[in-house]
Structure 1
Amino acid sequence: MSIAHAGVAAWHAYMNSGGDAALLSAQVADDAVFHSPVVHSPQEGKAKVMLYLLSAAKVLGNESFTYVREIIDGNDALLEFTSVIDGIHINGIDLIRFDDEGKIIDFKVMVRPVKAVNKLWEMMAAQLQAAAG
């Protein structure tokens, strides 16, 4: 099994866990970077990446969320997903790069259509604010 295949299997275990922070923490490298579809600048470091990924799991992780396609090449994986939030159909991808130990070092999310991006921006802002206390 390749590094990315193992990393994707671990990612699915996390997603199926209902957002287990310990499972996610074991997968994210200390110098990981997160690229949000709604925040211009990359979010650098494990703490910020964890914050965004945990928040995204709460926002997107409803009963309609599903991965519909996976493309794996070397240390890279592209996971296409669909979800429905407030009647808005969301289509997106998670583009994940793993280091040679199988930890996430780069995580980029892209979402379409624009209506879905706007809904995610609204919901992620609220979730991130709640997580910050």
Structure 2
Amino acid sequence: MHPFRAAIESRDVEAALALLHEDVVFRSPVVYTPYRGRFAVAPILRAVIEVFEDFEYTHELSDAPSHALLFKARVGDKHLEGCDFLHAGPDGQIAEFTVMIRPLKGIQALATAMQSRLT
């Protein structure tokens, strides 16, 4: 099990953040421009762990140094599926973190819920 998965499943955001490289590049499913740096990603992870209900990783694929963590969750009455794509740098920390989510209604519900927590 990838340590990021273990941290998120135990709702330990600080442990998850510690796995991110200081200059991690985070690509959100709802924002065009990537976020850069652990400091920028921290409030997003803290908010999403509150927004996602019934969150569960369902599969884990690995081809080191890259990992894909498939998940399902709910935001209000909208169910969604997604994947966290993680790519580690030479130091082993997560240097790139991309999230993809489907369907569109799920992404829209996520964007609305996140906006209220991050503004």
TM-score above 0.5: yes
SS in 2 for 1:65: strand
Which structure ranks higher in relative contact order (CA pairs < 8 Å, sequence separation ≥ 6)? 1
Map of 1:28 onto structure 2: 20
Map of 2:58 onto structure 1: 68
1:123 aligns with 2:113: yes
Of Structure 1 and Structure 2, the greater helix share is in 1
Q: Deviations over 1:82-124 (max 9, x none)?
A: 0122121111111111123321111101111110010010011
Identity %: 29
Map of 1:102 onto structure 2: 92
Equivalent pair of 1:28/1:104 in contact (CA under 8 Å) = yes
Mark the CA change 1:46 to 1:20 in structure 2 (over 3 Å): closer, same or farther: closer
Q: 1:15 aligns with which of 3, 8, 27?
A: 8
Q: Deviations over 1:38-83 (max 9, x none)?
A: 00100011101222222222212x3x11111111002100111101
Structure 1: state its 5+ residue gaps: none
TM-score (norm 2): 0.90
Alpha-carbon RMSD across the aligned residues, in angstroms, is 1.5
TM-score (norm 1): 0.82
Structure 2: state its 5+ residue gaps: none
Distance of 2:111 and 2:104 partners within structure 1 = 10
Equivalent pair of 2:5/2:69 in contact (CA under 8 Å) = no
Distance of 1:48 and 1:20 partners within structure 2 = 14
Q: Amino acid of the residue matched to residue 104 of structure 1?
A: I
Distance of 2:21 and 2:50 partners within structure 1 = 21
Equivalent pair of 1:55/1:128 in contact (CA under 8 Å) = yes
Q: May I ask how many residue pairs the two structures share in their alignment?
A: 119
Distance of 2:64 and 2:47 partners within structure 1 = 28
Map of 2:37 onto structure 1: 45
